[in-house]
Structure 1
Amino acid sequence: MCENGCHFSRQQVAAISITERVCSAFSVAASCIIIVTFLGSRNFRRPINRLVFYATFGNVMANVGTLISESGIDHGANSALCQFQAFMIQWFVPADSLWAFVMACNVYLAMFHRYRTDHLRPLEWKYFLFCYGLPFVPALVLLFIGSKSHGRIYGPAVQWCWISLKWDYLQIALFYGPVWLIIGLTFCIYARVGIYIFKQRRRLHKYIDTDTTIDSEMPVFVEADANASDGGHPSTQNQDPNSDQVHPPLNIPNTPGDAQGLGISGSSPEAVAVQAYCKYAVLFFLALLITWVPSSANRVYALSMSNQYLFGLTYASSFVLPLQGFWNTVIYITVSWRVFKMVPSQISRLETRSLPTLFAGRLRRRAWNTPFLNIVKEKLGYT
């Protein structure tokens, strides 16, 4: 299953291969839930859902590589299957960390630069190019590089075809190193946001009236209200946490006197939306850590032991890496749970009409409303 360095039994190799394929199949099936619901209903097209939907393309493509499992190695390093598998893994597996990073960037922009949904959405095509274009460049270049002494860069790499063990330093330089750099930057953004919220909560408790109640589990946002006077608090209204409105104005009082005239609310529509976005972006980040910690620990151990791999760490890596799409779907369902609960009632309404009837009715409406027939109906006085 791998070159010199790991000596796994046939049973161990079979266990790793079966685990990779089963987890990959679960991930693909879960990704289909995201694709079908997002494309099938506008209720699922929320800001955080769109980014998870875009990340799903990379999850599915990565699972194409992991489903091949050890078959790429069995066909040989120079086979088209092995090279294809290595290319897919190098291109799409790191993309999840980039999507977690751009989600953190959106949180930062919404928190500190007052970005609203109409500001964030035009950035999504840039995010798409960044998350899939950046890893595509090294993945493509490595496909054409090799040497007489080490052979091609893509080749057998323990669980599957990837950067071969003879080029192990490139695994760190072009895969694990960049991924953990992105994870570190993402963590820094969330730490900055967390520190900011913590400081503002402490400052708010100094200025708010004793009658004001604040949800201790939610961050509190301060909003400037031109209509507020005499220290009054503007009225707030609840809104679906999945709302597209992600635009909290953040005007923080610098002195005690500045607190007067500000509306302080932890349950305003803007605050609730940002709270929800922050929560689920952090969940995406935690899923990223679950995915990358075992595989990175496996690689660090192998480097320290001259490419001697432990079966336990290798098995754990083969379990978590193919499940990226599955964890993203869990987050997606959590984000959209209120919408998912409405699906059974929507389906029950359709049970009274068969699909052929619905399809025929749609065709009839389209045919009856063609431009030519509209002109005829107008002449005949039917409109």
Structure 2
Amino acid sequence: MSDTQDGVTRLDQALARVSAMLGLAGSLFIIATFVLQPRLRRPMNRLLFYTSLGNLFLDTFYFVSVWGIPKPGGSMHLCRTQGFMIQIFSLSPSLWTTSMAINVYLIVFRKFTTLELKRLEPWYTSINYGIPLAIAFVFLMLDVAPSQKAIYGPATLWCWIDSKWQWMRMAFTFGPIWVLMLVCFVLFIITGMKIVLQALELRRGGYGFDDPVTVLQVGTPFVPPTHVIRFTEVQVTESFSKIEDPKLQMATTTTSPEAPEERGNESQTPAGANRIYMMLHDGNPQPTVTHFHAALNPLQGLLDAIIYVAMSWPQCQAIFRDTSESIHKKIERRRRRRENARNFYG
């Protein structure tokens, strides 16, 4: 079986399109709430916002699915465009996840403030979208060159790097993703160890974490020198509680199972497993792994939205409460106007 539409079941197509719609909904949720709600514009959320812009394109072309695969003798324009866009935006989420891991490292070890982190974002954007764009563009030039290397072509569930270039898939997509996964893992391990040691030292000194905490707004250029910085759920929102001993001025952080390094790479695991299986079996996909590939790959936007809400849960609760109160007040005002009108006209 080759990487053609005939090798894809209706179940795979349905899974890919449903997952793509969920991913699109998640990305649109992040973008809309980030733009409309200033209290959500925190450093880590900004990185999720940037990656969601790319996920919009990625999930759109995942939704196209096998529609992009041309019939024999048909035009390659849609297939080539689909492959080009998927190549760009399938690598960039892992780069953004690495950026989040770097931010956490800089906060814990270098005591970076939100303003300093914000200055890094143009560099992150240039690298995280620029490098995948350069790779995809080179492939496109080879694809349309007179030699007609045909880099982009059918890839089981959609158009991407053609199955005859399996080594390119590994070298330019899955290989870098796995390396970035390892980098994130190492960064979070060393920061986690630092956090635990600092927490133990604070507790030995008689300082707990149950005191009231004042939240600094995003963009605060400095932290007072006698305050401790606390980060929860691997967030980059800064908060502080007053302590009297300058020797205990240190950053503390707690991590959780939803740490950002998880969300950028989980959806790529079935894809990588499927491609390795196909390399070892003459291009024949494994049906069960293909089902997982179709269901999980387009879910990036939804996974991002879940992490986004989890890291911003207090702000989301406040927004929901304010919105509910606003709706209730509008309903109450309309009810009173109707009652006044009835009383006026008898």
TM-score after normalising by structure 1:
0.72
TM-fit CA distance, 1:191: 1.5
Q: In 2 relative to 1, CA 320–249 (structure 1 residues): closer, same or farther, beyond 3 Å?
A: farther
User: 2:192 and 2:224 mapped to 1: Cα distance?
Assistant: 16
Partner residue in 2 for 1:34? 30
Gapped regions of structure 1 (runs ≥ 5): 216-235, 252-259, 355-383
Q: Secondary structure at the match of 2:159?
A: strand
Cα shift at 1:192: 1.5
Q: What value does the CA root-mean-square deviation take over the aligned residues? A: 3.3
Using the aligned pairs only, state the percent identity.
29
Match of 1:321 in 2: 297
Shift of 1:119: 0.9
Residue 155 of structure 1 aligns to which amino acid in structure 2? G
Letter in structure 1 aligned against 2:41: R
How far apart, in 2, do the equivalents of 1:127 and 1:154 lie?
Answer: 27
Deviation at 1:193, TM superposition (A): 1.1
Aligned position for 2:326: 349
- Number of aligned pairs? 312
Aligned-partner Cα distance in 1 for 2:112–2:260: 21
CA pair 40-103 structure 1, distance change in 2 beyond 3 A: same
| Pairs within 5 Å for 1:1-383 | 2-3=2-3, 8=7, 13-75=9-71, 78-146=75-143, 151-201=149-199, 207-209=204-206, 212-213=207-208, 237-240=212-215, 261-262=245-246, 264=248, 271=252, 274-275=253-254, 279=256, 283-347=259-323, 348-349=325-326
Q: Deviations over 1:273-307 (max 9, x none)?
A: x54xx559x62221233212211111122222232
CA distance in 1, matches of 2:2, 2:283: 11
Greater Cα offset, 344-353 or 327-336: 344-353
User: Structure 1 residue 333: deviation in Å?
Assistant: 1.1
Q: 1:195 to 1:249 in 2, by over 3 A?
A: farther
Note the C-alpha offset of 1:196: 2.4
Q: Which one scores higher on RCO, CA 8 angstroms, separation ≥ 6?
A: 2
Q: Distance in 2 between matches of 1:310 and 1:163?
A: 18
1:170–1:263 CA distance, 2 compared to 1 (3 A): same
Structure 2 residues not aligned, in runs of 5+: 228-243, 332-346
Residue type at the aligned position of 1:3: D
Q: 1:196/1:250 Cα in 2 relative to 1: closer, same or farther (>3 Å)?
A: farther
- 1:166, 1:172 → 2: CA distance? 12
Cα deviation, residue 131, structure 1: 0.8
Larger CA deviation: 59-68 vs 293-302: 293-302
What is the distance in 2 between the residues matched to 1:69 and 1:250? 56
8 Å CA contact 2:226, 2:246 repeated in 1: no
Deviation for aligned residue 1:74: 3.6
Distance in structure 1 (CA, Å) of the matches to 2:295 and 2:45: 25
CA change 1:136–1:56 in 2 (3 A) is same
How far the C-alpha of 1:87 sits from its partner, in A, is: 0.5
- TM-score after normalising by structure 2: 0.79
